[in-house]
A and B are shown apart, each in its own frame.
Chain A
């Protein structure tokens, strides 16, 4: 008979993650005064609950389903499974562990995964090679990038994991949403056949409705960021990315945003800036640096630089209609999937991305942009200069580009990155 521990060992990195989250929470709880970094404390509390619940489910023997971050975990709520976000797991561990997941990057590199291929997949690929994850199935949309397309076949061919690939088309047109809606539905049905469960659309509906509840709250927080000083600390952006990835469709996500809205309103009323004084307002149009989330605090406190938002915090979609037909629901799910952070920009020409950046710069009175040019994201490799020119012409604000691997500190020295940002900040003051 298989025992619980053995079953839980299908998701060993989640156990590591839980332990790390708990240690961090204890540290935060004992060192930081109440509400010093609210997003950190609130987020950690709910993340722990979420990871605990998933380990529990693994122990119950439920199928372990890996999913790409752009196949939102709430879509898997039509099953009784343990959802493991492949990219999210690599990066949250790279943020929390002292040496990140470097060991697993190296395992994969030695196995032949090219150095320039995205570390977000490389981490969990390495963990799978080391037999730390045992997936029963994987579901992945065919987007947003070559890395996704090229790396996922590894799971099928090396680790023999059955794979479902809903095809996400390029270009945002009416027909694209219809096509992808069909792909999601069929993908879930195919996944059900692999894991021996029938998708429960009512259960899915319930979780979509839960997820809908946080959309307005997120938008309210987004609006509050127009205020000077920005009433939300930089770390909120990082935690929101984790919450979006790990807690989609869960009440914990709703609670996180509710509590964060309260905190933001409080600061807004008191005109309080997290770092003391807001000197520079900055937009990260792309990702944060996951291996050094301490950067968020450093920017707030040392430079007085607010990160108004990163890519996970300015892409919002309309609530999914759950009370009409199933077709409407899947259509909205497709739309949400294609407008998910990074998917939106990668599955279309970059004209809209540039327009959005220019408009946000104006509306949020941003002083500058910092573009983290992640080595994996080749689809963004030709946008930075065009964006720079558009921002210069339309708003007069500058862009600092940082070449790096957002998940691997060994590619670029953090000191050099911070020095670059400091020098850039000086030119703005």
Chain B
């Protein structure tokens, strides 16, 4: 048994899928979001399917050009382009947080442009949570208040009744299980003889954000069995950790892996960072959801947490026996660009090989990238 052409992994190649259609056919709602800083359990408890917006496979940006200048992030621009072409018209709502300058402005663009298109019969509601940029008690207090207000807004605009503790508990259980399954799968990448590639994990992770979590959990259990029973992958490839801007397309991970390497670990939005922490089932459940979202392993949008991220990277490098780190940013992504700058120097000081590259959201410059990546592998021989 292998993962090649697995139906669950294939979900990651398209924007929509049959589970999503079925959900919609049952008159249930889908909520789009951009950033992993979302209290997903709360929305799930309210009966939504939280769907992570991505632009996998979309390569046009002429429509986005009108509303977003060229030096904004290519990933966000692609999603805007797709949105303007009706690619996300299945969404019944939108959640945005102030994650980065590019994605957060999508709130206004959906409001003033995307949802104003004539194809949209009724403008879907939009939700917004303001997330602090530092991690401390004051910041948490602020964030918790925001989550409480969000819950009230959902109740007023969607559920029309209170989201109760049993619903929250159920959602938390499903999400915790989901993260636990993903962790199990993830760990099979870090073995001396990995069981799956980075590209396969990325596909699993992307598919996981596009379907209801009960279904995802069943699928992940099935996939876990397949992977456990599959042959080890060859162990004479370079073991790479991939870090940086969002990767929503296996064209890039394949480029990294096809040149003689395997991505055994990552620090990416669709990767391990997102599945490390669970929500506590004891005590105030809403507060626990807020706690996980706020205190979880951060990304560079948190201004005072670089040290923790760096320490985590070092631990992962050791645990997964990483030979080299590829730091990458989508052009114009200032957050990951500057974080990678610091990491490059810090890793160099420790003698850990790293390659710092910039790229376009969809690969237009494969030859340049391939040459640099191959040269890097030569260097770490």
A and B from one assembly? Answer: yes
Our pick among B66, B138, B345, B358 for the contact of A182 (Cβ within 8 Å) is B138
Asked if A169 meets B130 with Cβ closer than 8 Å, knowing A114-B338, A116-B332, A351-B108, the reply is yes
Asked if A117 meets B105 with Cβ closer than 8 Å, knowing A157-B306, A378-B72, the reply is no
Contact check, A117 vs B334: say whether CB atoms are below 8 A apart. yes
B123–chain A nearest beta-carbon distance, Å = 15
Within 8 A of B (CB), among A375-417: 375-379, 381-386, 401, 403
Set of chain A residues within 8 Å of B300, measured between Cβ atoms: 149-150
Residue of A nearest to B300 (CB): A150
Asked whether A179 is an interface residue with its Cβ less than 8 Å from the other chain, the reply is yes
Set of chain A residues within 8 Å of B113, measured between Cβ atoms: 386
Tell me the complex Cα distance, A392–B138, Å: 44
Asked whether A263 is an interface residue with its Cβ less than 8 Å from the other chain, the reply is no
Set of chain A residues within 8 Å of B335, measured between Cβ atoms: 146, 149-150
Contact check, A114 vs B341: say whether CB atoms are below 8 A apart. yes
Within 8 A of B (CB), among A116-148: 116-118, 142-143, 145-147
Contact check, A382 vs B105: say whether CB atoms are below 8 A apart. yes
Tell me the complex Cα distance, A97–B333, Å: 30
Set of chain B residues within 8 Å of A373, measured between Cβ atoms: 69
**In the complex, per-residue mask of B82-112: 1 if CB is within 8 Å of any chain A CB, else 0:** 0000000000000000101110111111001
A424–chain B nearest beta-carbon distance, Å = 18
Contact check, B138 vs A381: say whether CB atoms are below 8 A apart. no
Set of chain B residues within 8 Å of A163, measured between Cβ atoms: 304
Contact check, B303 vs A153: say whether CB atoms are below 8 A apart. yes
Tell me the complex Cα distance, A170–B71, Å: 23
Set of chain A residues within 8 Å of B340, measured between Cβ atoms: 112
Asked if A179 meets B142 with Cβ closer than 8 Å, knowing A154-B342, A349-B107, A381-B105, the reply is yes
Centre residue among A149, A179, A403 by max chain B CB count within 10 A: A149
Set of chain B residues within 8 Å of A378, measured between Cβ atoms: 71-73, 100-102, 332, 334
Asked whether B239 is an interface residue with its Cβ less than 8 Å from the other chain, the reply is no
Set of chain B residues within 8 Å of A157, measured between Cβ atoms: 306-307, 342, 346
Asked whether A197 is an interface residue with its Cβ less than 8 Å from the other chain, the reply is no
**In the complex, per-residue mask of B332-359: 1 if CB is within 8 Å of any chain A CB, else 0:** 1011011111101110000000001010
B106–chain A nearest beta-carbon distance, Å = 8
Number of interface residues, chain B, beta carbon within 8 A: 53
Residue of B nearest to A178 (CB): B142
Tell me the complex Cα distance, A373–B138, Å: 35
Residue of A nearest to B132 (CB): A167
Contact check, B145 vs A175: say whether CB atoms are below 8 A apart. yes
Contact check, B342 vs A385: say whether CB atoms are below 8 A apart. no
Contact check, B345 vs A382: say whether CB atoms are below 8 A apart. no
Asked whether A165 is an interface residue with its Cβ less than 8 Å from the other chain, the reply is yes
**In the complex, per-residue mask of B320-339: 1 if CB is within 8 Å of any chain A CB, else 0:** 00000000010110110111
Contact check, B138 vs A183: say whether CB atoms are below 8 A apart. yes
Residue of B nearest to A378 (CB): B101
Set of chain A residues within 8 Å of B307, measured between Cβ atoms: 157
Asked whether A152 is an interface residue with its Cβ less than 8 Å from the other chain, the reply is yes
Our pick among A169, A375, A379 for the contact of B101 (Cβ within 8 Å) is A379
Asked whether B260 is an interface residue with its Cβ less than 8 Å from the other chain, the reply is no
Residue of A nearest to B329 (CB): A114
Set of chain A residues within 8 Å of B373, measured between Cβ atoms: none
Centre residue among A376, A377, A383, A401 by max chain B CB count within 10 A: A383
**In the complex, per-residue mask of A164-189: 1 if CB is within 8 Å of any chain B CB, else 0:** 01011111000110010011001000
Asked whether B133 is an interface residue with its Cβ less than 8 Å from the other chain, the reply is yes
Contact check, B304 vs A165: say whether CB atoms are below 8 A apart. yes
Tell me the complex Cα distance, A378–B74, Å: 12
7 A-B contacts (beta carbon < 8 Å): A114-B337, A142-B133, A149-B301, A150-B339, A165-B133, A183-B138, A381-B101
